[in-house]
Chains A and B, each alone.
Chain A
């Protein structure tokens, strides 16, 4: 049970990092477009 909980927390952390990276990439691309 504890292992699954730990796994879910780590997956959530990975997902959050992905959101941050996506936001950064989008910010850079949209800036290049002059928007």
Chain B
């Protein structure tokens, strides 16, 4: 038997390598089924724009609530006055609904700062994430520092392959210290800036 191994050892090595290659191929290809693609945003995704729009429409006062002003009977030109008043009220309602919608869509950046901060100072945020956050309207430490759990979840769903980074790297706490300008406190907790 040992003699056979001595004679045929290159064949055994080839069989071994073939086994490794095939195992790798099988497991690596099975992995692809587990990769979740978040590029196609769903209306039901938390933070999706259509969902916010729908919520704004739900929250807006129903059109049936429009009450025409009471005009005493016998007033000359009452018909025109009522029509004008109703129209004016409808325009007002539409404006309110638009305002509510705009508010719902701009919910994540609660207090947009005119002067954007360099978000890459947050450890765990690089160039790509900085661009991504800017596209989501997040440009200042104060905005990130003001996030609550719901905000984090909403933003997190839009971070694609960077999902989970917000909590893992404690962005909110980092941003709070950076927004305060508390460099000493920051460096004590997260290391040198």
Partners in one complex: yes
- Chain A contact residues, CB within 8 Å of chain B: 3, 6-7, 10-12, 14-23, 25-27, 30, 35
User: Does B190 belong to the interface (CB within 8 Å)?
Assistant: no
Query: Is there an interface contact between B18 and A18, defined as CB atoms closer than 8 Å?
Result: yes
A12 neighbours in B (Cβ, 8 Å): 15
* B1 close to A6 (CB less than 8 A): yes
Residue among B15, B17, B21, B28 facing the most chain A CB atoms (10 A cut-off): B15
Q: Which residues of B contact A (CB under 8 A)?
A: 1, 4-5, 8, 11-13, 15-24, 27-28, 31, 34
A15 touches B18 (CB 8 A): yes
Whether the pair A14, B4 counts as a contact (CB closer than 8 A) is: no
5 further A-B pairs in the complex, CB-CB below 8 A; given A6-B1, A19-B20: A11-B11, A18-B16, A25-B24, A26-B27, A27-B27
By Cβ-Cβ distance, the 6 closest A-B pairs, closest first, are A18-B19, A22-B23, A22-B20, A14-B15, A18-B16, A26-B27
From A3, A16, A23, B27 is in contact (CB under 8 Å) with: A23
For A30, list chain B residues within 8 Å (CB).
Answer: 27, 31
Pairwise interchain contact A19-B4, C-beta atoms closer than 8 A: no
Interface-central residue, A22, A26, A35, by most chain B CB under 10 Å: A22
The CA of A15 and the CA of B1, in the complex, are separated in Å by: 18
A19 & B15 in contact (Cβ 8 Å cutoff): no
Contacts of B17 in A (CB 8 A): 18
